[in-house]
Structures are given as structure tokens and as C-alpha cells.
Amino acid sequence: MLSWIYSNLGHLWGPLRLFQSFFFLSATGFAVCALTTWFVLPKFWGRLPTDRGRAFAVNAEMSVGKPISAGLIFVSIFCIASLIFVPFGARCLYTLPCVVVAMTVGYFDDKRGGFSEYQLAVFDLVIALTAAMVICGMSTTNIWLPGFKAVIPLSPWLAVPLATGLIWLSINATNCSDGVDGVSGSLTATAIMILGGLLYAVIGNEIVAGHLNIPVNREGANWAIMAFLMVGCVAGYLWYNAAPSQVLMGDAGSRPLGLLIGMLVVATNNPLFLLLVGSVILLNGATGLAKVALLRFFGVKVLAGVRFPLHDHCRKELGWSNTQVLVRFMLLHLGISALLVILVLKVR
């Protein structure tokens, strides 16, 4: 909306030209979302459902009775802010209905005590497929990988299923990573911030992308604005989710966050970025999904001595406190992401 204001009224007042600056929109949007979430969240969390505790989770009793589904509030703020700060006509805006559906599914999952695993898998698949079709469209997608100088063109019949799988995995890995005060929000916000920075400064920048021999995404800056808006919302939420937490994001927050990470990865045109910026998220959550799937569908038992999500193993078997889990997971997340992203950008 702000860019529309500039295009129609910019000739009347010079300072309105700031509304065409992607950097200004990203920075201002981040601050507005953070402050709005920080102010609004405690006003409404009394109306949210309360946590019942997760079966078999470590220290689940500590969360019982706390407001859950804070994602319903901060994701709604994110969607409204996207309509204000992201330029009209940007393709990423067409993915907002997917975000709303993911939030709604998560909210009802929190409120009613849980859909079945298979119901959630189908919901996630439909959401992921819709988002993939919006992003990829029906045109050829050029992906790039380290070690390959040339781009790899994929027809929509290959690009859309690949994008769907990436987004579905991101949703579920992020959802499974939730459970320790501050951990899921911090890990996902960091991943989104890294992806937003890459889309703004590298992949969405024609000069830098050309220098690194990376196919440019002309929508990169729009995706970056959306990324920093969500980081701002999560920052406002984390103010109250820091240990000992006062409120929990629930599936209403973790599923849209995972969806956004997956969509940003697809927007980079490099599927490996899910591993590069989400390595700890995948290790914490997706490994448990793989373990259960192998046992349930193939009868293969692996990692029998390891509890999943991995943060439960660290707390139960290694004796880590919630604060130790947060700090150590974040250190690993930042170190691994920084190293791998630099290597991938340089090794072409």
C-alpha cells in the first residue's frame, strides 16, 4: 500500500519517495511489526486456548495452563503488515491465503486437542502445493546448485512437486522443533532473516547475482520485505516467550513459520538452502519424522537410543537446561548457516 501511495501522491511531497525504498520498507516494517506484536499480544492472549501438555514430552507439565496459539495474533499482524509494506502486485502477496490457512489449521489443532497425523499431513500437502504453484507458476524454473556453473532448467511438472516437498518438509520440521521456551522462535527467525538478507542483497540484486553467477530473482526484494516483517513479529513474540515463557506460539505459529521458510527457500531457486539455513531445525525436528516414518511404514528401527525432538534428548539424557538448549542450538545454527551459505555462494 505504501508504494501505491508514493506512485499516486509522490509528486506532491518529496519525502514520500521513501515508500519506494525496499530497505526503508523492510526496516520500518520490522520495527512496526515488532512493536505492534509486543503491544497487542498480552492484550489478547487471555482469549487464547491453554496448553494441555504434550504426551511423552520432557517437562510438559511446565507448559500446562499457559496461553497457546499466540501465532494466531502475530501471524495476523504479519498478514496485515504485508498488505501495507509489500508493493501491490508482488507475487509473494498471493501466498498470504496459504499463510492464513496454515495459521487456521494450526489454531484449530491447538484448540481441539489435535487433528490426526494423517489429517495434518494432508492439510500441509494442500497448503504446500498451493504455495508452490503460486511461486513457480507454469513457467520454467531455473535452479542453481554449488558445483554447477550453469543453471538447471526445470519444467513446472518437476519444479512444482519439488517445491511442494520442500515446503511440506519445512512446515513439519518447524512444527516438530517447537517445545522449548524461545528455541523454535529464535531458530526460525534467524533462518528467515538469513533468507531475507540473501534475497535482498544477493539473489534479488542483479549486480551481485551476476558477479556470483547466480540467476537473479527480480521479486527477491519483495520476498525480503515479507521475511523481515515476520522476523519483527517473532521478535515481539519472543519478548514474552523467553524462559520462563508467558505464552506459546502453538501450531498456529509454527506452521506458518515453517511455510514461510519453505517459500523463501523456493524463492531463492536453490533447494539446498533449506538444509543450509535450517540445518538445526531439520536436525531437531525432521529427524524424528524420518525415524517414525521408517519404523511405521518399513519396520526399520533407527536411532533407538535417541529421543526426538532432539531438544528433548538434550534435556532428558544430557541434562541440559532450557537456557542451555537455546544458547547451544543457536550457536550451532548461526555457525553452520554462516559457513555453508558462504561456501555455496562462492563454489560455483
**Residue ranges of domains in the chain:** 2-270
State residue 152 phi and psi, 5-degree precision: -115, 105
- What would the pLDDT profile of 41-53 be if each residue is shown by its tens digit? 999 999 999 887 6
Q: In the structure, what pLDDT confidence band is assigned to residue 348 with cuts at 50, 70 and 90? A: low
**Rounded CA separation 78/262 (Å):** 17
Mean pLDDT (whole number) for 60-65 = 65
pLDDT value at residue 128: 98
Which pTM value belongs to this model? 0.92
pLDDT of residue 59: 58
How far apart (Å, rounded) are the C-alpha atoms in residues 63 and 44? 18
Q: What angle do CA 54, 109, 117 make, to 5 degrees?
A: 75
Please provide residue 67's backbone torsions phi and psi, each rounded to the nearest 5 degrees.
Answer: -60, 135
**pLDDT exceeds cutoff 90 at 113:** no
pLDDT digits (tens, 9 = 90+) for 265-281: 999 999 999 988 988 88
Percent of the chain predicted with pLDDT > 70: 94
What percent of the chain has pLDDT above 90? 57
Alpha helices in the chain (DSSP H): 2-9, 22-44, 71-85, 96-112, 117-136, 156-177, 183-198, 206-211, 220-241, 251-268, 273-277, 279-281, 287-298, 310-316, 322-346
Whether the pLDDT of residue 78 is over 90: the answer is yes
Q: Please check whether residue 192 is in contact with residue 186, taking contact to mean a CB–CB distance below 8 angstroms.
A: no
Query: What pLDDT score was predicted for residue 60?
Result: 57
4-31, pLDDT tens digit by residue? Answer: 676 777 667 777 788 888 999 999 999 9
Which phi and psi (to 5°) does residue 236 adopt? -65, -40
